Structure 1
Amino acid sequence: MGLLEPDPPPPPPSLEIHMVAAADSPEFALLRWALCCSTIVALDAEWKPTRTHRRDRQDPDGGAGESVSAVDVPPRTFPTVSLLQIACRVHRQPSDPVVGDSPVFLVDLLSIPLNALWKLLSDMFESPKIIKLGFKFKQDLIYLSSTFSAQGCVPGFDRVECFLDITTIYHHLKNQNIGRKHFRDTKSLATICKEILNVSLSKELQCSDWSGRPLSQDQILYAAADAYYLLEIFEVFQQNITDANKSQPSLLGGNFITTFIEEEVNPESSSSNRLSSTEHCQPDMLDACLSNIARRFGEELLLNESNKRPRISRRKEKKQSSGIAKDRDKLTPDDDWQGPPPWDLSLGGDKSPKFLCDVMVEGLAKHLRCVGIDAAIPSSKKPDQRHLLDQAYKEKRVILTRDAKLLKYQYLVRNQVYRVKSLLKNDQLLEVIETFQLKISEDQLMSRCTKCNGNFIQKPLTMEEAIAASRGFQVIPDCLFDRNLEFWQCTDCKQLYWEGTQYHNAVQKFVAVCKLNN
């Protein structure tokens, strides 16, 4: 009987997503309108990373000597941004288009002419009447500016006014001083969303191919959520500031109602070239609270000439130059699984597959547990490679990783390291099942503790027994008391589980992923 980890995070909101792929499309007109009617805009970008290429280098004397494998210096160009996410907090009027308060626009930079978009984005970036939100957005801005410049939109984008970094907001909400020490220990966006919003933001698709078209539905939802939740975090921050200002009016240093805005607007610019022109419906100024927030916490992102030149660190250049000599004698490890695994009967195993998932594929560990496979994670929070190998050897496990460097240690523990090639957890699960020829049945689904990898007690608990077992440890929702349910408890971590809607949805999901209906 299978069970699911209780108390799942709240489901994501139903996002209003508009794909913008043509300058003459209704979606582009809606984007232009939304930017003119917004005082808060959240930004994010996706691109396809530039890879390091390998080539054969002939003998430097020009003869037909033996070719040697050499590492090319990566091309000195920035990655091309293929998708720009813009989430707007819109101030609507009754006569405005039918649109929600927080639409998200996914602008396809591979399809839309960039010269049709450059002016609109440039005005938005430079407008002091719009607070721009981003998470480590300077890197995105560098790549975005390079992408537009390469298409003739010179000088690209040089600055963003009235910008707030989500990291700054996070540290303020946590009552931390914003210094160099904290910025070195910056939390990920997924961690910030979990702590501030109690939302689980998956980063599984971060490294997917963003240059492929059409985008998958999962990619669309992932990209939209990255921008949308920046607005949600800012809303928590704004409410925090509002509440603090009510109890301590001088907290923000006085009342900056219109001075900040009036100082920043260039009176000589043509009204037809500004987002604040009379034909647009954008508010004439930020309200008092937003103006104060912009004054105290906002900053100006500036790109100088050095930002516009792709560079390789001296350390990386040294490594690449020395790599040419090393590659002559380097043995390239084989990515393919050779077998047999340590649980094979011929090696004294018990035929029970057991894996050890390193930090790069921890999400895969939970998926394997969901289909009934023993999948552990490192016993140490920051294990080195030797500790991983030692744990795998002692517990007769196969290490699953995406780190090719681990493969070179195969001589220490033969046939106990496998490099997972897929990026997405569902694909990784199917890859492991097929590579190791695992036998998965529907009876196995949800039969292990997804929290600690433990087994369940053999006999289910009644409601009364479950209440007693959970006292001081776990809260059982009141809505379950009137239902005739059986409860199961992990023998290791004592977590309680029960069959509910989440369980049945998970079973259907893994039946499809594992192709059990075929």
Structure 2
Amino acid sequence: MAIAAETFMVMADDSPEFDLLRKSLACSSTVGFDAEWKPRSDRLAPPEAPRSFPMVTLLQIACREALGSVTRVFLVDLLALDLPPLWDALRDVFESQAVLKLGFRFKQDLIYLSSTFAAHGCDRGFDKVEPFIDITSVHHYLKFGSLLEGKGPPKQSSSLATICEEVLGVALSKDLQCSDWSVRPLTEEQKRYAAADAYYLLEIFDVFRCKFSDQAIHSPTVKQSVNTPGAYPPNLTQGLKDLFRAPSVYGNVLGTKYGRAVDMINSSDSESTLPALLDTSLCKIIKKYGEKIILQESDRHPRTSKRRGRKPSSSTWKFEVPSGQFSDWEGPRPWDSSDGGDEIPRFLCDVMVEGLAKYLRCVGIDAAVPSVKKPEARQLIEQAYKEKRVILTRDAKLLKHRYLVGNQIYRVRSLIKKDQLMEVIETFKIKISEEQLMSRCTKCNGRFVQKPLTIEEAVAASKGFQVIPSCLFNKDLEFWQCTDCGQLYWEGTQYQNAVQRFINVCKLSD
């Protein structure tokens, strides 16, 4: 995924790349922002534990200089950088009336970014971004002839990949969206992916800016085309697509480049650090459509539960083992911290209790099934030993192999799945909270992506293997995707019924 802009990695506040970033911010009229983060470390913590926002690990900044066509993309490594010097520069840009900021559903990124900087001693992080235009509003204008003034982005907006495809004819891959952005060093593929997300914000805005010009707005042909849903004026959009694809435009600058910041600084004119002067068309856009993002006090505190339709749990429930009721278990548990474990229960359900595996996943417990069909006892034991799991079975003959895995085999006595679930919970003293319900993929035991998908993203992700009912398109639902098998889930009636069922089974409402 190549872009027609210089790309720089910023990893230290005393580096030439950081100096170039500050100069670029000072002389840019339009700046695009995007962010990548790692999941919360407290996601599976007890409900009474303090919550925290995900930490932003990479900030992408695309700068377009005023009265010029120079575009630079900066990948700012927040894990390596001293944040206070960057905080000053970002705060000035966020609040500068002379710089238009662009983003894609950026308020959520700003909340996480503000929390990350505040955690590193930067006052309260960031309070506002002004003037600002969301790319989802730009996309709405290009399709329907009007921006979503004062309303913010729609809840069911198109994904950035979809917008790029419709507006620019560019296929923007999202394969690395769920990669671990806290691991260093970043791969070249991750760098290209991150740079593209910020760069194409500017390119999409260029199409909007072209359509906004006085000549385009007052043209009867353009007016008619703009007011037609899904249509673009061919004399503008197609021409811009052709311009982006022309070899003479890309030439030798096609692709990302790293480490040339010293040359860029040495050749910079001293006047380039002066405040940017906005041209007429950009001033008109800001005056007519510029909005602001303001973080309220409530935005600075994570919610205890994102699940709708039920109250967050106020306590974690612990089930005590009835004395002498389950005598087949001889322990210890392989996940015990005293044995170097991580205190996360893990089970391997053989073919006789595969239904129990799905029930365990529904309450957030890691439950695998045999990796091969019709496994032999030896294969089950090897898998359990390698993955540090307890084997669950109803096969009494399998118990004779307990010595091979340190007695890590338990024979389930109950026949009904909900009774089997309670038997396992009580036998192994597992803590279950309401927040853990429906937190695993029942199909493959995988985890879900950190943030929910829009309907457009869900439809794109489901192509080829899963059909999303059309009746869901007009509903305000959150979609979640398994990071392992790609299965999609949504918080509809079945979800609510399943949650209530397991609240009753596990007696969480007592």
Smaller-chain TM-score bracket: 0.5 to 0.7
Distance 2:34 2:49 in 1: 25
Distance 2:159 2:463 in 1: 24
> Partner residue of 1:195?
166
Give 1:175 shift.
1.4
Distance 2:14 2:84 in 1: 13
1:30 equivalent to 2:30? Answer no
> Partner residue of 2:114?
145
CA contact (8 A) 2:105 2:134 kept: yes
1:217 to 171, 181, 188: 188
Equivalent positions of 1:15-414 (< 5 A) are 15-51=5-41, 53-54=43-44, 72=47, 75-91=50-66, 101-175=70-144, 183-242=154-213, 243-245=215-217, 247=219, 281-282=273-274, 284-313=276-305, 315=307, 318=311, 320=313, 324=317, 331=360, 332=365, 334-340=367-373, 377-378=464-465, 380-382=467-469, 401-403=485-487
Distance 2:283 2:70 in 1: 20
* AA partner of residue 90 (structure 2): L
* AA partner of residue 228 (structure 1): Y
User: Is the alpha carbon distance of 1:27 and 1:181 closer, same or farther for their aligned partners in structure 2, counting shifts above 3 Å?
Assistant: closer
* AA partner of residue 31 (structure 1): L
Give 1:72 shift.
4.4
User: Is the alpha carbon distance of 1:54 and 1:298 closer, same or farther for their aligned partners in structure 2, counting shifts above 3 Å?
Assistant: closer
TM normalised by structure 2 equals 0.53
The one-character-per-residue Cα deviations of 1:415-436 (angstroms, maximum 9, x if unpaired) are xxxxxxxxxxxxxxxxxxxxxx
SS of the aligned residue for 2:9 comes to: strand
Distance 1:168 1:376 in 2: 26
* AA partner of residue 89 (structure 1): R
User: Is the alpha carbon distance of 1:333 and 1:339 closer, same or farther for their aligned partners in structure 2, counting shifts above 3 Å?
Assistant: farther
Distance 1:181 1:162 in 2: 13
CA contact (8 A) 1:114 1:151 kept: yes
> Partner residue of 1:344?
none
Aligned length: 306
SS of the aligned residue for 2:141 comes to: helix
Give 1:106 shift.
0.6
Give 1:73 shift.
5.2
CA contact (8 A) 1:53 1:72 kept: no
Give 1:149 shift.
1.1
CA contact (8 A) 1:82 1:211 kept: yes
Give 1:40 shift.
0.5
Percent identical among aligned pairs is: 46
Distance 1:207 1:324 in 2: 32
CA RMSD of aligned residues (A): 4.0
SS of the aligned residue for 1:27 comes to: helix
CA contact (8 A) 1:193 1:233 kept: yes
Give 1:204 shift.
1.4
SS of the aligned residue for 1:340 comes to: coil
Give 1:312 shift.
2.4
CA contact (8 A) 1:148 1:156 kept: yes
SS of the aligned residue for 1:202 comes to: coil
SS of the aligned residue for 1:186 comes to: coil
CA contact (8 A) 1:92 1:101 kept: no
> Partner residue of 1:272?
none
* AA partner of residue 217 (structure 1): E
> Partner residue of 1:348?
none
Give 1:16 shift.
1.6
* AA partner of residue 63 (structure 2): C
TM normalised by structure 1 equals 0.52
User: Is the alpha carbon distance of 1:217 and 1:182 closer, same or farther for their aligned partners in structure 2, counting shifts above 3 Å?
Assistant: closer
